[in-house]
Amino acid sequence: MKIGTWNVRSLFWPGALKVLHNGLSKLDFDVTALQETGLEFGIKKFDNFALFNSGLGSKKHEIFAVFM
């Protein structure tokens, strides 16, 4: 199992998930921990990825960790 980490410095901008997807597809990690995503609490599915956000449910796009 390959595990990686990435400080993305915000995914709250147009096209961010596509850039993330392209980068992670090349690295071929099984699990990736993302820091400073700015995403809201919950699970987001994107193509063949799932993002599990542990945020507090705030709408302020605060900085949280996400596991993919």
Q: List pLDDT tens digits, range 27-65.
A: 888 888 888 887 777 888 878 888 887 766 556 655 556
Domain residues for 24? Answer: 3-67
Task: Supply the pLDDT for residue 46.
Answer: 79
Q: How far apart are CA 3 and CA 18, in angstroms?
A: 20
Entry pTM: 0.71
Inform me whether the pLDDT recorded for 10 exceeds 60.
yes
> How many domains does one find in the chain?
1
- pLDDT score for 53: 79
